[in-house]
């Protein structure tokens, strides 16, 4: 599943081609994605794109009347190509620009979304989201206070979008290993000192992934078609049974919330 770094890399990739361009046409080839695609998305036509932003794992392409909200779901990706390039299978949404380029949302599993947010409003999908992890709003004081009396395991606590957005499974695994925190430890039992260590690690882990182009996942490619390379540097995720990079003991795997958690029983307490 594309996580925050992959979505941010997609935003960075499409922005130079789309920002301040006029939308010529919107084409919806498959309206039944995770939610039905609303007719409001056609409001983009004839409008100039004023901003391309991200909130959590949602991308917003904005004009003066509102924003199309895109979500990549579990297997989606975005490409900006010349409008003469033939459609690929599973190209469900197209936003054609006056400059001859077209943005295509490709989503084989159709768990992604294309929604509309009117100007001055906040879509219901965005209402209950926590702070962005790379902003000053996400700090050790905030996370410590938010965690008090919580019996939730720290890994699931970090992955709760109402606590902080975008710390998905891969980056929660990696951050907790680097911080030496056991993924099953109750969030409310972790000291403020350890949160002061964890928060900068989360920020740096995500920032490194964005800088290096996103993690290479099965269905993810950058907008230029080149895969990311951060997967080569993963310390625990996907490495069950392999030696820990620190102590050389075999890494363990458990399931938390139906997701794989890989950790070192010696290095994480």
Active site residue 259: yes
Catalytic option among 2, 5, 133, 183: 2
| Beta strands 252-256 and 77-82, pairing class | unpaired
Catalytic option among 11, 54, 57, 155: 57
DSSP H helices in 98-253: 140-147, 154-158, 169-179, 192-211
Q: In what order do the strands lie in the sheet with 91-97?
A: 23-28, 91-97, 101-106, 77-82
Active site residue 89: no
Cα 259 from chain centroid (whole Å): 16
Active site residue 57: yes
Active site residue 128: no
Please state, in angstroms and rounded to a whole number, the distance separating the CA atoms of residues 60 and 48: 14
Catalytic option among 110, 184, 203, 259: 259
How many CB atoms within 10 Å of residue 21? 16
Angle of helix 192-211 relative to helix 140-147, nearest 10 degrees, comes to 120
Active site residues: 2-3, 57, 259
């Amino acid at each position: 599943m594309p996580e925050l770094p992959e979505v941010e890399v997609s935003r960075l990739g499409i922005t130079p081609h789309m920002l301040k361009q006029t939308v010529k046409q919107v084409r919806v080839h498959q309206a039944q994605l995770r939610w039905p695609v609303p007719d409001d998305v056609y409001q983009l036509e004839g409008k100039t794109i004023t901003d391309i932003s991200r909130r959590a794992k949602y991308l917003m392409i904005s004009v003066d009347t509102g924003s199309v909200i895109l979500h990549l779901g579990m297997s989606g990706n975005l490409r900006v190509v010349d409008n003469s390039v033939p459609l690929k299978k599973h190209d469900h949404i197209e936003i054609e620009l006056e400059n001859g380029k077209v943005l295509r949302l490709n989503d084989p599993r159709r768990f992604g979304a294309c929604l509309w947010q009117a100007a001055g409003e906040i879509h219901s999908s965005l209402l209950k989201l926590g702070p962005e992890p790379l902003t000053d709003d996400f700090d050790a004081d905030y996370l410590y206070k938010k965690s008090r009396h919580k019996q939730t395991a720290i890994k699931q606590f970090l992955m709760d979008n109402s606590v902080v957005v975008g710390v998905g499974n891969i980056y929660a695994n990696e951050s907790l290993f680097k911080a030496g925190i056991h993924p099953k430890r109750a969030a409310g039992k972790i000291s403020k000192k350890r949160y002061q260590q964890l928060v900068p690690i989360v920020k740096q882990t995500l920032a490194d992934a964005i800088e290096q182009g996103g993690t290479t996942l099965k269905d993810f490619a950058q907008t230029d078609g080149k895969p990311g390379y951060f997967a080569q540097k993963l310390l625990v995720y996907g490495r069950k049974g392999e030696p820990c990079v620190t102590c050389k003991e075999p890494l363990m795997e458990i399931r938390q919330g139906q997701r794989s958690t890989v950790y070192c029983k010696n290095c994480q307490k």
